[in-house]
Structure 1
Amino acid sequence: MRKRLLTIVLSLLLCLFHLISNGQAIARLTLPSADNNLSIPVCISLDDISTLPDASLALREVKGKAYLPVSCQIENGARRLLWWMISPQTRAGKRVYELYKKDNQSSPAQPSPLAVTDNNDGLLIAENGRQVIQYNYAVHYPPAGVDSIFKRSGFLHPLWSPSGNVLTRINPPDHHHHMGIWNPWTHVLFRGKEVDFWNIGDRKGTVRFSNFISRYTGNVFAGFKALQQHVAFNIPATGEETVAMDETWDVRVYNTADKMWLIDFTSSLNCATDSPVVLEEYRYGGFGFRAAEDWNNRNSRVLTSEGKTRKEADASTARWCMIDGDMKQGHSGIVFMGYPTNYNFPEPMRVWPEDANKRGDVFFSFSPTRNKDWPLSPGKDYVLKYRMLVYDGTIPAEQAEQAWKNFAHPPPIIIERL
Structure 2
Amino acid sequence: MTTHDSPVLRVAGRPVGRYVTRPELPDRLSPRPYLHPVTTLAGTTVTELSPADHLHHLGVGVAVPDVEGHNFWGGRTYVRDRGPTEFDNHGAQRHVAFQLRDPDGFVEELRWVAAGAEVLRERRTVAATELTDTAWALDFTFALTNITSGPLSIGSPATNGRPGAAYGGFFWRARKEASVPDVFTPGSEGEEQVHGTRADWLALAGWGSPRSSGAESGGSWTLVFAGATEATRRDPWFVRTAEYPGVGSSLAHDERLPIPPGDTVVRRIVTVVADGRLGRDEAAALTRKAVTQ
**Pairing 1:270–2:145 present:** yes
- Cα distance, 1:375–1:287 mapped onto 2, change above 3 Å: same
Q: CA deviation at 1:280?
A: 2.3
Aligned to 1:327: 208
3-state SS in 2 of match to 1:317: coil
**Superposed CA offset, 1:329-365 (max 9, x none):** 321121011123225x3321221252x1xxxx21211
CA apart distance, 1:148:
5.7
Show the counterpart of 2:122.
247
Cα deviation for residue 288 of structure 1 reads 0.8
How far, CA to CA, are the matches of 1:326 and 1:183 in structure 2? 26
CA contact (8 A) 2:136 2:274 kept: yes
Structure-2 change in CA distance of 1:379 and 1:151 (3 Å): closer
Kindly indicate whether residue 52 of structure 2 is the aligned counterpart of residue 170 of structure 1: no
1:244 to 1:315, Cα distance in 2 relative to 1, 3 A: same
The verdict on how the C-alpha distance between 1:340 and 1:305 changes in structure 2, with shifts beyond 3 A counting, is farther
In 2 relative to 1, CA 257–333 (structure 1 residues): closer, same or farther, beyond 3 Å? Answer: closer
Q: 1:372-395: CA deviations, max 9, x gaps? A: 221111222221011011111122
Counterpart contact for 2:154–2:251, Cα < 8 Å: no
Distance of 1:407 and 1:261 partners within structure 2: 8
Instruction: Determine the structure 1 residue equivalent to 2:183.
Output: 302
Structure number with bigger Rg: 1
Task: Choose from 137, 140, 153 the match for 2:21.
Answer: 137
- Distance, in Å, in 2 between the alignment partners of 1:195 and 1:216 is 30
Partner of 2:195: 314
**Residue 275 (structure 1) shift:** 2.0
Change in CA separation of 1:312 and 1:255 when aligned onto 2, cut-off 3 Å: closer
The 1:251/1:290 distance shift into structure 2, 3 A limit, reads same
2:228 matched residue in structure 1:
339
2:93 paired residue number:
208
Taking only the aligned residue pairs, the percentage that are identical comes to 22
Aligned residue runs from structure 1 range 12-411, under 5 A: 120-141=4-25, 149-150=28-29, 152-189=31-68, 194-200=69-75, 202-217=87-102, 222-233=104-115, 241-256=116-131, 258-281=133-156, 282=158, 283-294=166-177, 296-297=179-180, 300-328=181-209, 329-343=218-232, 345-352=233-240, 354=242, 356=243, 361-406=244-289, 410=292
CA distance in 2, matches of 1:404, 1:159: 18
Please give the alpha-carbon distance, in whole angstroms, between the structure 2 residues aligned to 1:284 and 1:401: 25
Task: State the one-letter code of the partner of 1:318.
Answer: A
For 1:353 and 1:260, the matched residues in 2 are separated by 22
SS at match of 1:226: strand
The unaligned stretches of length 5 or more in structure 1 are 1-117, 142-146, 234-240, 412-418
- 1:292 CA displacement: 0.9
Secondary structure in 2 matching 1:229: strand
CA contact under 8 A between 2:64 and 2:169: conserved in structure 1? Answer: yes
- 1:324–1:331: 8 Å Cα contact kept in structure 2? yes
Q: CA RMSD of the aligned region, Å?
A: 2.3
Q: CA deviation at 1:206?
A: 2.2
Instruction: Extract unaligned runs of 5+ from structure 2.
Output: 77-86, 159-165, 210-217
Deviation at 1:188, TM superposition (A): 2.3
SS of structure 2 residue aligned to 1:179: coil
* Matched letter for residue 304 of structure 1: T
Q: Which amino acid aligns with 2:175?
A: A
- Alpha-carbon distance between aligned partners in 2 of 1:262 and 1:379, rounded to the nearest angstrom: 32
Structure 1 residue matching 2:192: 3-state secondary structure: helix
Q: Is contact 1:319-1:404 (8 Å) kept?
A: no
Other structure's SS at 1:287 match = strand
Residues paired across the two proteins, number: 266
SS at match of 2:286: helix
